[in-house]
Amino acid sequence: MTVGSAAISARKRRGRGGTRRKGSTAGARRRLVALFAVLVLGLSAILVRLVQLQVRDAHAYRTLAWDQRVRTIDLPASRGSIFDRNGQEVALSLPARAVYARPELVSDPPKEARKVAEALGLDPAAVRAAFKKSDPFVYLARGVDPAKAATLERQDLPGIGFLPESKRYYPGGALAPQVLGFVGVDGKGLAGLEQEYQSLLAGRPGHEVVEADPRGVLIPQGENVDVPPVPGDDLILTIDRQIQFRAQASLEAAVKANHARGGTIVVLNPATGEILAMADSPWFDPNQFTKASWSSIRNRGVTDAYEPGSVNKIVTAAAALQEGYLKLNQRLKVSDHYQLYTKVFRDTHAHPPQLMTLGDILAYSSNVGTIQVAERLGPNLLYDYLQRFGLTRTTGLGFPGESAGLLPPPRHWSGTSMGTIPIGQGIAVTPLQMASVYATIANGGVWVRPRLLRGIVGPDGAFRPAQGSLTRRVVSTETAKALTGMLAYAVDVGTGTQAQIPGYWVAGKTGTARKVRPDGTGYEVGKYIASFIGFAPAAHPALVVAAVLDEPATVYGGVAAAPLFREVARFALARLRVAPAHKLPLPPHAIRTVG
């Protein structure tokens, strides 16, 4: 090979090598661009996802994290206590525990059900049934004594938990239960004053917000918000515990002695409207209210209306005197029977025609004489005075379920209504309404709204007196004084002699009314409601007592109810240290038989 040929061959080899290097560089560049594109797409996807997480979904994830770490613990408020007028506790709240189960965490249902039932006195089958529920939280018992709960808690049973709560306790047991009412397991008042003043007694619950890890350990420097509960207000009642106890004891004795179905007693101050005692028989123990019947829970002195009978005659007498239709010394000729349309009205005892003053008519409870007086008034005026004395509306006591009674307007009266209504039939009232009628007379003719609340004590310990009672004048002072003399005469020589209290002059009236059938279609055969309502001392009244007995075997108010009035009034006068007062002058009375 020549030198020229060798040089040419060398140049060709160098040319082929240069071509290869140029192709390799272009491929590498393409791969680099592709890799960069992939990286850009990946980073873009990450960036989009970050935007989604930190912008769009930030609130949802923040809430989820908050719910996992932060817990809210409810802090129940302590319920206010209830005191009598002298500061003695009649209702209070005691510490208790609620026992619950988380069924999905119960490891050995039969064994745990047996242990829970033994510790709490429950039915093992009921506990087993609770464990089978699909709910995440099931109450096993409420209001458990702390000592019993502690015994069970020490056993450390899986899925069994405990919560603090309170339990309502009534230290007097069955003392004024229809007045106080009771509280359910959820802490809400279900009857009586516990229900009426629920918002005051309950207070305002608080809560605590804490931050903890999944094991329940608090995170240092974590979220911690504490809103303390506001305790409920305490109530100071007008009830006197000692008078209330004696009234219930006397009522129970009277029910038994007269073989009655039940009874009601109301004691109040006529000048202030304060109720010192209120009771119904039969009653119940609010500490065990689940065992009580509905009939024993009702405060029938406020919620149940009855036909009052002859105690209503005082309204007819008041209207006649106030309007000048009859003078105190005026005599009416009264027979023992009187026909009004299709009905013949009779006095309790047969007697020949007699001359009787208004005082005689009240003292001897003459139906015929009362009807003759009412006819002088006419239906509209009689109805007006029944309204004035508050017999067509609630008293405004502030008590759940208070009845307004029943009194139709005159346009709905029948031809015999002017015979029935003046003597207390065909009209329905509550014992409290009727007690307020007599309190009006005892208070010089001024009606005072009755009340059970004397005042409120707030969480700061300051006493706030209750709003004063509303008042309205019904009859003049002179009329009230004259009526008081007639009522004193009725106790002195009339149908109310068994209401007399040694050392005190008593004014009052008996009542015996036929009992209406439950369906309202007529009267029960041989069944009556006997009552006596009066006040003492007659000259300066300090208290009014209304005594009502349901279906007494002794029938008459003067026999069945007057002795009950006497026992309660005598104790209350001594308890309040009321001094005897002078005797009132008796009204003109000239009862005598005429031909």
The Cα 28–Cα 490 span in angstroms is 129
Name the token pair of 112.
């745990």
Within 13 A of 391's CA, how many CA atoms are on the CB side?
A: 33
DSSP H helices in 443-583 = 477-492, 557-560, 562-575
Residues 270 and 541: beta-carbon distance below 8 Å? yes
Residues 149 and 197: beta-carbon distance below 8 Å? no
The β-bridge relationship of strands 234-237 and 82-83 is parallel
DSSP H helices in 398-517 = 417-420, 431-442, 477-492
- Those residues whose C-beta lies under 8 Å from the C-beta of residue 491, and which sit 6 or more positions away, are 497, 499, 500, 505, 506, 507, 508, 534
Rounded to whole angstroms, what are the CA distances from 321 to 232, 478, 489, 534? 50, 10, 17, 20
- Those residues whose C-beta lies under 8 Å from the C-beta of residue 202, and which sit 6 or more positions away, are 77, 79, 80, 187, 188, 189, 232
- Counting DSSP H helices and E strands in the chain, the numbers are 20, 24
The distance from CA 210 to its chain's CA centroid, rounded to whole angstroms, is: 38
The Cα 418–Cα 57 span in angstroms is 81
**Count of beta carbons in the 10 Å neighbourhood of residue 577:** 7
The distance from CA 56 to its chain's CA centroid, rounded to whole angstroms, is: 53
The Cα 283–Cα 306 span in angstroms is 19
310 noted as active-site residue: yes
Q: Which of 81, 93, 166, 310 is catalytic?
A: 310
Q: Which residues are catalytic?
A: 310
